[in-house]
A = this chain, B = another copy of it.
């Protein structure tokens, strides 16, 4: 959803887009868009101008923004579910499970993040344009 917004900003990077315009494409509402883009702004991915005629634009070029950047800015909790509470310390397995699992899970999450970092917003724009062109000729 953050990626959708970034892709739109990259597709029309000659002008700024308003929250309402982006919300329109997401079939959502402007406040939600501002919330998400607010996170992206804190991560220095986008930029906003207030007042009439204001809106959002990218800070870096689309080629320099990866899906991981967007993901890291928005997502907070870990992907793989940990224990809701500490296991029993008096059990031989329970004592060490937390640490062992943490290592494995972090590794797995790293693997996913590396894959996300391999794709940029520019790549997505490219794919959208290609799909759009083939739609026109269909």
Docked complex Cα distance between A131 and B1 (Å): 42
* Contact in complex: A86, B27 (CB < 8 Å): yes
Whether A58 sits at the interface, judged by CB under 8 Å, is no
Whether A51 sits at the interface, judged by CB under 8 Å, is no
Across-interface contacts of A27 in B (CB, < 8 A): 85-88, 94
Docked complex Cα distance between A108 and B119 (Å): 10
Can you tell how many copies of this chain the complex includes?
2
Across-interface contacts of A87 in B (CB, < 8 A): 4, 25-27
Across-interface contacts of A4 in B (CB, < 8 A): 83, 87, 93-94, 97, 101
> Could you give 19 example pairs across A and B, Cβ below 8 Å?
A1-B81, A4-B87, A4-B101, A7-B93, A7-B97, A8-B93, A11-B93, A25-B91, A27-B85, A27-B86, A67-B104, A75-B81, A92-B128, A95-B135, A96-B127, A99-B131, A111-B111, A112-B112, A112-B115
